[in-house]
Amino acid sequence: MRMSNRWNLFVYRLWAPVYDATVGHLFMPGRRRAIQLLALQPGERVLLVGVGTGADLPLLPSGVQATAIDLSPQMLEEARQKITQCRASVELIQGDAQSLLVPEGSFDAAILNLILSVVPDGHACLYATLQALRPNGRAVVFDKFQADGTEPSLWRRCANWFSTAFGTDITRTFGDLARGLDLATTRDEPSLLGGMYRILLIRKAAAATAAPQGMTGV
């Protein structure tokens, strides 16, 4: 099944009221570890890409300025209810994370937890995030990835037909999503389900990131 914003708006409208009570708690260890690795400092600005129901918000340290983006208004409404539990200051933005929605180079760090496997174009989402970061800015990624340089098995391709119907792609590799982008992976560690989920710490190049050839409007 081909993923699209239209389908994701439908699926995550259904997920919004039940996500935290069903599958959300399963991902909390990965979320905590990802934010620990990011090592946010007071005074830093952090961009949360695909904030969903806001599960990451209570994990942010005090003194941080956070901007959180999500496509789904229903997910953002769930996130809004968690702002009172958050020690950081938080601004919520409804919009498509495949495009740059904030001033270029205005963030010290970014959190991409369970989003690169959800948006229709994970490459565009990662590129837009790099645009938002200052030179040498850092980001953490917690998500499900197939091993780089491998092809999905028949079982995985079949399972992916069902998983995309629920709003997530299990056949993406981080290497493909990052191809042509000016970033360095400084840490890559296994997380949930025997390493199917991974946590990666990445850093934007010191020079400005140019759009990969043939990529416009993101």
Alpha carbon distances (Å) from 25 to 17, 42, 108, 126:
14, 27, 28, 25
Q: What is the pLDDT of residues 4-38, one digit of tens each?
A: 999 999 999 999 999 999 999 999 999 999 999 99
Q: Architecture of domain 5-204 in CATH?
A: 3-Layer(aba) Sandwich (3.40)
Token representation of residue 25: 């708690």
Q: Are 209 and 128 in contact (CB under 8 A)?
A: no
Q: What is the pLDDT of residues 124-141, one digit of tens each?
A: 999 999 999 999 999 999
Specify the pLDDT at position 217.
40
Specify the pLDDT at position 87.
96
Residue type, 36: Q
Mean pLDDT across the chain = 94
Q: How confident is the model at residue 110 (pLDDT cuts 50, 70, 90)?
A: very high
Specify the pLDDT at position 211.
52
Give the percent of the chain with pLDDT over 90.
92
Q: What is the pLDDT of residues 161-211, one digit of tens each?
A: 999 999 999 999 999 999 999 999 999 999 999 999 999 999 999 875 445
Alpha carbon distances (Å) from 132 to 4, 111, 203:
23, 12, 12
Tokens 């209810």 appear where? 81
The H-assigned helical ranges of 93-186 are: 122-132, 154-165, 174-178
Q: Are 8 and 16 in contact (CB under 8 A)?
A: no
Give the percent of the chain with pLDDT over 70.
95
